[in-house]
Amino acid sequence: MFEQKHSITLLFNANKVYDRRVIAGVGDYLQTSKVDWDLYLEEDFMARLEHLDEWSGDGIIADYDNPEIQAALQKAKVPVVGIGGSYANPADYPDVPYVATDNHALVQAAFEHLRQKGIQRFAFYGAPVNEHARWAQERENAVLEITRSQGYECYVYRGHPVRPETWQYTTKRLADWLKSLPTPIGIIAVTDSRARHLLQVCDHIGMIIPDKMSVIGIDDDELARYLSRVSLSSVRQGCFELGEQAARLLHKMLKGHNPPKKPILIAPECVAERQSTDFKAISDPHVMQAMHYIRQNACRGIKVEQVLDYVGVSRSNLENRFREERGHSIHTEIHNEKLQRACKMLENSNEATSQIAKICGYPSLQYMYAVFKKHFNQTPKEYRDAMKNNDEEDSLVLQVS
């Protein structure tokens, strides 16, 4: 039996990935609870504030990272739940019930991921100070506090706003900063878009990822993942839970419950680990060069000869160096890189197996089947089904516990 009907407005710019995930969390609460809400969201997904005071709804869930939205809702006559970033100073929180992504925990997850890889130097690529992105300053402060508490120095660069008219200048200044850093080093980027900027510039200046620089972003934006040749590791925010918790909080307020006095902090979901932080301490510069070339080109069907041409040493020389550093041959490294890419695609995408075989550089689907049978005693489809079943079992265990 549904409860009393309510009209709720969502004030988000849902053209952004973060906002869309939050809205999805709100929608999930609607699907799994007994609320009967009509949701108002602008048709073009923009958050319009004109004539907001004339709106005759029952409640609002809004993006409180946006100062204009905060200002527009100061005199709201209906219950409001704000969503945004966390603050180290409690006085910085808005005076409304608030659900926040935990900025300190996001940075902590990125830092711990890099440190577990054996990295001992750290840097942070942030963003210029902007009242619309106060979370960027919070993340910068968090990374400085975390690294200092662990006895590390952290090199910080805020860079410049990315605009078409200043793109070349911005890129050159970022390149200068990267060249000035000691290596190997792990760089935490304030967002995935800034992390992608790092990967592009590293490619331009010949900085090897991840052997010289390991890069991790924040957001786990699927678009950013596919726009660079090296796949990006990233901390996945709990956006879905943000929306779900905000909807639950507003539901309670509409039923007459008093809201919590403190903000509700949402921890990150996980670290999505990919190539950009696949750091292994390699001391031999020739092996490092070869690894860089293999990571970027294994799925293009390269052979050992092409790796040798790129590095510029004899086969026996590089094979000996490779076995000493990696414990196997160059051919095995190429093979492993293709297999890892195929496994990840089977686990994380819905691509047809025939398309995965093509993307990963296998001469035919039958050939990929033979490889999987040899390594896992499973076909690619059986491997995918097994991974899916494992995920479902893990999810069930978490729910029961």
Q: What is the pLDDT of residues 3-30, one digit of tens each?
A: 678 899 899 887 778 888 999 999 999 9
51: confidence class by pLDDT, cuts 50, 70, 90:
low
Q: Which of 228, 207, 227 is nearest to 123 (CA)?
A: 207
| Mean pLDDT over the full length of the chain | 88
Please give the residue that has the higher pLDDT: either 51 or 65: 65
**Over the stretch 290-316, which tens digit does the pLDDT of each residue have?**
888 888 889 988 999 999 999 998 999
Please state, in angstroms and rounded to a whole number, the distance separating the CA atoms of residues 296 and 307.
11
Phi-psi region of 191 (alpha: psi -120 to 50; beta: other; left: phi over 0): beta
**Over the stretch 71-127, which tens digit does the pLDDT of each residue have?**
888 888 899 999 999 999 999 999 999 999 999 999 999 999 999 988 989 999 999
**330: pLDDT strictly greater than 90:** yes
391: confidence class by pLDDT, cuts 50, 70, 90:
low
> In the block, which residue shows the tokens 């860079």?
159
> In the block, which residue shows the tokens 């053209």?
15
Write down the pLDDT at residue 397. 41
**Over the stretch 211-268, which tens digit does the pLDDT of each residue have?**
889 999 999 987 766 677 788 999 999 999 999 999 999 999 999 999 998 999 999 9
**141: pLDDT strictly greater than 90:** yes
Q: Which of 154, 151, 164, 156 is nearest to 129 (CA)?
A: 156
SS3 category, 337: helix
Q: How many CB atoms lie within 10 A of CB 393?
A: 10
Side-by-side strand order, sheet with 270-272? 154-157, 122-125, 185-189, 213-218, 233-236, 270-272
Residue 168 token pair: 């070349």
Write down the pLDDT at residue 80. 94
**46: pLDDT strictly greater than 80:** no
**148: pLDDT strictly greater than 90:** yes
**43: pLDDT strictly greater than 70:** no
Residue 327 token pair: 């414990």
Residue 245 token pair: 């918790």
Q: Which of 231, 112, 119 is nearest to 186 (CA)?
A: 119
Residues in a beta bridge with 39: 8
Write down the pLDDT at residue 2. 56
- What is the share, in percent, of the chain residues with pLDDT greater than 70? 91
- Helix, strand, coil shares, percent, the chain, to 5: 55, 15, 35
Task: Tell me the average pLDDT across 126-152.
Answer: 94
Between the CA atoms of 89, 92, 97 and 98, what dihedral angle is there, to the nearest 10 degrees? Answer: -70
**41: pLDDT strictly greater than 90:** no
Write down the pLDDT at residue 401. 32
47: confidence class by pLDDT, cuts 50, 70, 90:
low
Contacts within 8 Å (CB) and 24+ apart, 282-289? 282/211, 282/325, 282/326, 283/325, 284/321, 284/324, 284/325, 286/311, 286/313, 286/317, 286/318, 286/321, 287/318, 287/321, 287/322, 287/325, 287/326, 288/208, 288/211, 288/212, 289/208
- Determine contact, residues 335/374, Cβ cutoff 8 Å: no
Domains of the chain: 5-101+239-267 (3.40.50.2300), 103-236+272-277 (3.40.50.2300), 285-391 (1.10.10.60)
**Over the stretch 166-224, which tens digit does the pLDDT of each residue have?**
889 999 999 999 999 998 999 999 999 999 999 999 999 989 899 889 999 999 987 76
Between the CA atoms of 197, 202, 208 and 209, what dihedral angle is there, to the nearest 10 degrees? Answer: 0
* Alpha carbon distances (Å) from 106 to 79, 102, 216, 269, 329: 29, 6, 11, 9, 38
Residue 157 token pair: 């660069």
Task: Tell me the average pLDDT across 373-389.
Answer: 88
* Alpha carbon distances (Å) from 120 to 59, 123, 138, 199: 49, 10, 23, 20
Please state, in angstroms and rounded to a whole number, the distance separating the CA atoms of residues 74 and 61.
13
Write down the pLDDT at residue 398. 39
| Alpha-carbon 337 to chain mean position | 22
